[in-house]
Each structure stands twice: as structure tokens, then as C-alpha cells.
Amino acid sequence: MRLAFKFGYFGEKFYGSQYQPNLRTVEGELFKAFEEVGIEPGLARYRCSSRTDAGVHALGNVFAIDVEESKKFIPRILNSKLPEDITIWAWAKVDDGFDPRRDAISRVYSYIMAKKGIDVSAMRKAASIIEGTHDFSNFTKKFGETASNIRTLKSVEVRIDERFITIEFEGNAFTWNMVRNLATALEMIGKGMRDIDWLESMLEPEKYYERMEPSPPYGLILKDVKYPFEFEIDEYAWNMFKRKLGARINYHGILYKVFSIMDDEITYICEEV
């Protein structure tokens, strides 16, 4: 029997999602949990939908494994073996040949940045330019290699609130660092450092080449990976994940207030001098 699991993680303490010997990774922690419940990743044909870099977070990544029909593998069983910063919260029974990477319909990423100093209308215009099918070689870490960097972005939406901008990218697949490089490009246009003509040139790598500096990983979330079927949410696991998120929101919210007070105070002191 083959099962797919949807899982999330807080990326700040991981050296990426892909297994690396002697480094703490998401897959490294998953494999430890598998061993504790009698699953060998190779024999179980473990496959993961998406790899994320060090510091990147996920809400809806997906992996698949084979399990014995007689065993019950609801998310909470594996969660009991996992560290606090990884949570499996939904599952689905899938076809024997299911591959979460190959069979995904689309992937959704969100990148969050501070709103201050950014022309949102310029950023939205730039976002509309990168929608569709393009050669994103100038936005990938491995420029010039034989693999194609042609990808299709179904949508790029720019949303704002009081302090932050969220850029949501949905596409069939993404190259290495593509989302973070695109976030950099949109931010540069929003700050008036580049214009639309430059962005259009960047989408023609056979004529124009420029390396990008990717935006910091901590602002990136792998929000969802979509398939032509629904996952069953484990209510207990989902509520546990919500509690973990609530605790982090509270912790970082307090830190935000602490640093805001310090900033206000030092500004006042400087004005008095």
C-alpha cells in the first residue's frame, strides 16, 4: 500500500530538506522516525515532492512511502517520533506508481518582505510580466547547464497588509533559487533600482545575462503542492500544528514589540542629543 503525507516544518534550524550526512535536515529527521516504526526509506520507495534550501519553511510539502497493508500509519504515529519543528498533518492513499514530484499539478510558494520603501503598483506590474512560460535561466542558481530552465508561472500575486508584502507564486515547477531570485527582482523594481525593460531583458537569457542575489531564505514558504486528489486531514495533528504555530507567533510577536520599544527609545535619545 502506498501513502502520501502532507507535512510542514519551520526551516530556521535545518540545513535544507534534502538528506545530508552529519547535518540536520528535514529528511534526516524523517528517516530517523521511519526507522523507529520499522520503515527503511529505500525499500519503502520514499519520494518527496519538493526540496527546500536551508532556512526555508514549508506548510504543504508532500512525501510518499510504501507501507504494509496491516499497519496503520496515521500522521500522529510518525509525529510522535519527529522533533517539534516538523509536523505531518494529512495523508492520502495513492496509486502504487505515485511519485509526488512527477505527479504534482502545481506548487505554490509565498515570499514575505517588509513593505517600507516599496512601490507596490510597480511591483504588481513586474509580477504580471513574469507570469506565463519563460526561460528563467537568469533566475536559477545553475545557469548554463544542459537542463532546461523553461518554466510556467500560472500566477504571481502581490498582496499587502500594514507592514508586509506577500508575493505568491504558483507554477508547474521551479528551478533552484528561482523564487528567491524572482523576489529579489520584484523588490528591486519596487524600490526603483531596476525597471520593467530590465526585467524583460532578464527573461531573454540568450541575449542578456546577469546573476541575481537571492532574497533571504527565512521569508520563503513552500505553501502547497497540488494533486488531482484530496488529502484527509488528521484533526489531532492539525490542531497540534496550529498550537505550535500559535506559540511561535506569540514568541516572535513579543520579540517584535521588544525591538520596537528599543528602536523608539534609541531614536528618542538621538533626538535629545
pLDDT (0 to 100) of residue 273: 58
Total domains, the chain = 2
pTM: predicted TM-score of the whole model, two decimal places: 0.92
66 part of a folded domain: yes
252 part of a folded domain: yes
Burial class (CB in 10 A: 0-12, 13-18, 19+), 174: buried
Residues 56 and 98 in one domain: yes
* CB proximity list for 264: less than 8 A, separation 6 or greater: none
pLDDT (0 to 100) of residue 33: 94
Residues 197 and 167 in one domain: yes
Q: Characterize 86-107 residue by residue with b for buried, 16 or more Cβ atoms within 10 angstroms of its Cβ, and e for exposed.
A: bbbbbbbebeeebbbbebbebb
pLDDT (0 to 100) of residue 146: 56
Residues 97 and 114 in one domain: no
Residues 204 and 249 in one domain: no
Whole-number Å distance between alpha carbons of 268 and 241 = 40
pLDDT (0 to 100) of residue 201: 96
90 part of a folded domain: yes
pLDDT (0 to 100) of residue 71: 64
Residues identified as active-site: 53
Residues 215 and 135 in one domain: yes
244 part of a folded domain: yes
Q: What is the CATH number of the domain that holds 174?
A: 3.30.70.660
Angle at 145 between CA 98 and CA 53, to 5 degrees: 55
Burial class (CB in 10 A: 0-12, 13-18, 19+), 253: exposed
Predicted confidence (pLDDT) per residue in 139-155, tens digit: 998 755 557 899 999 99
Residues 17 and 118 in one domain: no
Residues 59 and 115 in one domain: no
Residues 80 and 125 in one domain: no
pLDDT (0 to 100) of residue 76: 86
Which residues span the domain enclosing 61?
2-103+227-259
Predicted confidence (pLDDT) per residue in 126-143, tens digit: 999 999 999 999 999 875
Provide φ and ψ at 217, rounded to 5°.
Answer: -70, -25
273 part of a folded domain: no
Q: What is the CATH number of the domain that holds 41?
A: 3.30.70.580
Residues 85 and 115 in one domain: no
272 part of a folded domain: no
Could you tell me if 185 and 214 are in contact, meaning their C-beta atoms sit under 8 angstroms apart?
no
Q: Domain boundary residue among 220, 251, 267? A: 220
pLDDT (0 to 100) of residue 196: 96
For 218, the grid coordinates are 527565512
35 part of a folded domain: yes
Residues 67 and 118 in one domain: no
Spans of the chain, pLDDT less than 70: 70-73, 143-146, 272-273
Residues 140 and 55 in one domain: no
